[in-house]
Structure 1
């Protein structure tokens, strides 16, 4: 249907929606001084308006109409807002003006008849743009030769408008129009009466225009190439209307009528769904097309692997054919509708902060405090809005987060949730824990083993858990993890906690809340099996605070305190220097606290023993700080030892015996360990040092020995290297001395330290092996023996 601007304005209120960009046709052209980007366009319009016969059609303007009040309809342009804004400015400039006298100055404003028509045009992209348009129609300005400057000098003009790109472009356009020399009365007559400037109008919701690929054909008929995203929409529309879909004859409800899947997609992709994604572009400076594509690819990928359990990651080709299946198309539509619905504020505007609020009610941000309501901590503390992560991160979106997002949306759709409730948080918690337990150990750390192409297998279990509103009640029923890639241990651990929660959630709510807080401790990550929860519910409240107190201390204190509780480290594998053992490390304590115990290595008992010891000391003196409590535990243990074993040395000399890695090779001889310098696949490539050697080198003056002299590589044992050339090796039966050529150990030193013929000396009743070695080295380096 062909319209002039005034004809369209008289019929509809034109509302430029939030999804549209700022007005740009009046932007300055940096390559052509004193000109605007659309200079040629406005010159062409003026030429037509001042000619005798030519006319100009501005191609298609399309969008949709909606009723905004009784007997009043609005037109929401999806394509053409730039041309419509330029025409609106041209009508304001050329229209007849009414005069008034204000303090002796002749002021002009638009005639009332035209004014009422021009009021039917407004911007929603920015409230400041809308206010400027309103004031431009309502207010008076003096007759002038510089309309742009005169408007900015007017008492109604707000200084902040000069920061609004739409207002700036509008002023530039008015300035460009004024600079042209032409018959303005004739131009107004041709514009308002003779229909010299028209456009083809398309209402995509009208009965006259059936929404098929015709839309995209007509868009492209202007001779302008479609964008990649417009091509995607056209192709996607074809998929939804294909004859081989399993919903070809089905209809969906849309504003009280039944329409096809294709039309449902077409109506919403160019209206409310675009509103949703546009707010991300505005707030996050992310191109709207890439947001759309990241989201559609995500949904397509996860649906593909849900339906194809035996495919590899590279089998997914982004062809969107998965949406020929009804369940997948509906999931896509329902997901977009859900996020749009929760984004709407009281003024019926899309605000992404509302989506943030939704996710913040599910996920924990930062430290747990008194406001904690059972939220779940994600795998990394880098934002909790999974919808936003999906749009912005694209193929970098973590697989675990991809799966949790799908589970959340499927749950809220299944139960038609309007807001987050406890059951949804419980469900997310169980899924998070099961995914966290899907891991593999790489040397001293556990890495996730969650694969997106295994989602169909995971979903076999996750969907069972979803069958009841409360997932903990469901876990206690007959569900199976057969062929789901979720281990028996992982599922059984969740069942143990489910039993505790179901039995005690009303009778012991504080304990259950503490259980959740324990799960959210960063080094547990949901996996608290080493706390033996079935036997320790009464301790949860205390332990929830204790683990945070203890594991906020230095590594050397924590490890020494654990050693007093019979902790023997975490065995990883063997190397040429012996077995390799990890003792715990800042940011990697998860390996110990949430690790899996072997038959010969118990992780659970030392952790629980330490928590109970901590409790006893704290009861005796509640004023002690956490590090002071650990020091007291260590000192009491040292006082009980009857022999100077490796535990004695690790506890007494803990600052020297521990390192950045806390990773050791462990020989059968407990005094021949090596602190490994790296934690990679082959740690012997890095330099290593014997902890007894390290302790002695640090206690000696740098002129005698420096720690960095004492490191070695590969399968060589490190030794204490003195400045005078003597070397000392730590062995089971004592210190082995290697004497440089042409040097000897004085007789009185041999006697003093009881050095035998093999050049070996040991600790004494009064001196341990560190102290005796320090004394020997100092004596050996003194002038008396040089």
Structure 2
């Protein structure tokens, strides 16, 4: 039954004790927005009604029970509607006292009772009889200074919420600048659809369940009511209202229900509402970036609560409305007509390669990016920028289908995955525009914002495949390698590309290169120095996939070294095994080490022979100080204020071939102790420096013995034989260990 507010109150309204506190005056972000929106609606209506006396406003359904007392007096007990009824009561009370309305005309206000707390009921009774003088800056201050106001009410959440709302009402009332607001509202133009639950057979148990101790309206419910008010064009408003309660929400419901990820304790309706808002917020964020729309505080759109004002700006534009509506309609059509769209488009695991699919490398493994958006757009995991760009590309395809979409989405995947440093908020508008345009038109020339090297690579690959279409599958497998992720600049696109690509995938399988990194790195060293300089440091990779990926895709640490050293060594390696199919990796490594036995031993020899040179080097960085092959620090990370060691000493210490030695952190010297004597050992370009490690040098006979036998010179130098190029002729680790073992034998 359609009933106005005063008619509802004249039959007496009582907020039952089972209901929650009055909440619209809370000061959290979400409630601030909800209160602001509701009061804005009320006061905007009042402002317009002064020029149109016949105007009315509907404030949705309220429902509850009717009870009769011993005097046959009917009391309406609302289940839903408490917040709106209370806010209107505060509005009527404030206007009545502000404009000195007689007690007889406001008798209906006394029929509104709160039983949620005794303190709230007492506050209402006092407020009804209170005649403020408006002697304070705000009405809430005057109320709290009254003798009837108890200090304990400062802790009553309903009372405090009412004071907040009264203050907000007062501010809006001042801004109206209307002589008599009461004349506008006295006959109550505020209408509800009042549903008496006993008439439809609802039980007391259901009453309690529906109330759930007074759950507030969800953000989705406030969004749905408020968003329709933004749309002025009747056809657009009708389209929204029919779809939001129909195909759009039904589609989200179907996706979530089919996924079956909800626990028994989860509210599927609430999950559906929140999931729809995630999708809505994602699409709206895309629009705000593309159109460069911000709020008055220069902030981007985030969600319907924190960006309520910006929401109105965005969707006052019918073009933006259509972008939203068309996208949602396209999603619904896809779910109905092509439910396997996402699984047919993407794959995750390498063994599921399909020439018609594109591999995704995101941490949260799900081929259904739409579902990822529905569940996670707003949470702490969220959607990464690459995921957002790909999702926009997919939505664009759903609206404007392209016959070459599978190739286009692969190209877009390559660009977003390899443009990590370029994808910043300041350029997202351009990124979204370029991605959308590319899916619509397939024009690579549109790309200006992504990584330049990758853009040029995509153009080269397109040209190459036009000339060699039979190599598409091999190229795609290479792109889909976890360690390359779309960037194949390691390979020249020339006649022997296919054979090299196949051999690379065989020799440097994405799993094997991690699990057996030492073997793979030694294999490369067998063909030369593949390192890349990064400032003063040299990088040789390590067994971390991200490090390997950065190293093998341009620009790694040093673009010049990538092409002149890394690429050259990798291609030599591939060509060798293409030409020598019967030779194994281990055979080639052993052959290289054997060749060192009668030849000078540069730094590559030591890295290949001694496994601890690679240990605890998390990013693959080494510092070659003095520009020498043998004065090296192995960096645990990349900073000298972190752990770093001499790799020669690290090998000697951790191999445990020598006893009585110790090696501390931060580039410490190797310590050798014997018979309560101690010496310190450090590296020199041509050998080692042996120093006294005792407080009393005279007591260190160990050092004297080394000098007397001519093992070290009078400067403490232990010299390793070298050729004219200052490269070791003998293994310096073996020589040092041999010297130390002589003392152990004694």
- How does the TM-score come out when normalised to structure 2? 0.62
Indicate conservation of the 8 Å contact 1:376/1:425, yes or no: no
Provide the residue aligned with 1:782 in structure 2. 745
CA displacement, residues 173-196 of structure 1 (integer Å, 9 cap, x when unaligned) = xxxxxxxxxxxxxxxxxxxxxx99
- Specify the alignment match of 2:253 in structure 1: 278
Unmatched runs of 5 consecutive residues or more in structure 2? 3-62, 81-195, 202-213, 263-269, 722-727
Q: Distance in 1 between matches of 2:484 and 2:349?
A: 15
Q: How many residues align?
A: 517
Q: Does 1:303 align with 2:287?
A: yes
Q: Which residue of 2 aligns with 1:403?
A: 389
Q: CA deviation at 1:545?
A: 3.4
Where 1:456 maps in the other structure, the secondary structure is: helix
For residues 604 and 224 of structure 1, the distance between their equivalents in structure 2, rounded to whole angstroms, comes to 63
**Structure 2: how far apart are the matches of 1:304 and 1:439?**
22
- C-alpha deviations, 1:573-621, integer Å up to 9, x for none? 23xxxx353433322210111132433553222222223334445x115
CA distance in 2, matches of 1:43, 1:580: 75
CA-CA distance at 1:643 after TM superposition: 0.9
Residues in 1 aligned to 2:215 and 2:716: alpha-carbon distance in whole angstroms: 91
Q: What does residue 314 of structure 1 align with?
A: 299
Distance 1:676 1:684 in 2: 7
Aligned to 2:376: 393
Segments of structure 1 that go 5 or more residues without pairing to the other structure are: 3-41, 61-194, 201-222, 242-247, 249-258, 346-353, 441-448, 622-628
1:230-273 CA-partner distances (Å, limit 9, x unpaired): 221122111122xxxxxx4xxxxxxxxxx711111100111121
How far residue 747 of structure 1 moved from its aligned partner, in angstroms, is 7.6
Q: 1:611 to 1:323 in 2, by over 3 A?
A: farther
The answer on 1:547 being equivalent to 2:508 is yes
The separation in 2 between residues aligned to 1:537 and 1:313, in whole angstroms, is: 50
**Structure 2 CA distance, aligned partners of 1:547 and 1:690?**
29
Distance in 2 between the 1:290 and 1:457 partners? 29
Match of 1:663 in 2: 621
Aligned ranges 1:332-731 → 2 under 5 Å: 332-344=324-336, 355=339, 357-369=340-352, 373-380=356-363, 382-395=365-378, 396-415=382-401, 423-440=404-421, 449-468=422-441, 471=442, 474-475=443-444, 479-481=445-447, 484-505=448-469, 508=470, 511-534=471-494, 536-539=496-499, 540-548=501-509, 551-574=513-536, 579-587=537-545, 588-596=547-555, 597-600=558-561, 602-617=565-580, 619-620=581-582, 629-641=584-596, 642-661=599-618, 662-667=620-625, 668-679=627-638, 683-701=639-657, 703-706=659-662, 709-712=663-666, 717-724=667-674, 725-731=678-684
Q: Contact between 2:356 and 2:406, CA under 8 Å: does it hold in 1?
A: no
Whether 1:234 and 2:256 are equivalent positions in the alignment is: no
Helix, strand or coil: the match of 1:341?
helix
Secondary structure of 2:348 counterpart: coil
Rounded Cα–Cα distance in structure 2 between residues aligned with 1:344 and 1:58: 40
CA contact (8 A) 2:65 2:77 kept: no
Paired with 2:361 and 2:415, the residues of 1 have a C-alpha distance of 13
Aligned mates of 1:781, 1:196 — CA distance in 2 = 95
Describe the SS at the equivalent of 2:534. Answer: strand
Q: Distance in 1 between matches of 2:465 and 2:612?
A: 42
Contact 2:392 2:435 in 1 (8 A): no
Alpha-carbon distance between aligned partners in 1 of 2:648 and 2:78, rounded to the nearest angstrom: 86
In structure 2, the partner of 1:759 is 716
Match of 1:327 in 2: 319
- Equivalences for residues 132-151 of structure 1 within 5 A: none
2-structure distance, mates of 1:43, 1:383: 44
Structure 2 Cα separation of the partners of residues 463 and 304 of structure 1: 15
Please say if residues 524 and 569 of structure 2, whose CA atoms lie closer than 8 Å, have aligned partners that are also in contact.
yes
Contact 1:543 1:611 (8 Å CA) reproduced: yes
Task: Find the residue that maps to 2:509 and give its secondary structure.
Answer: helix
Structure 2: how far apart are the matches of 1:287 and 1:43?
Answer: 26
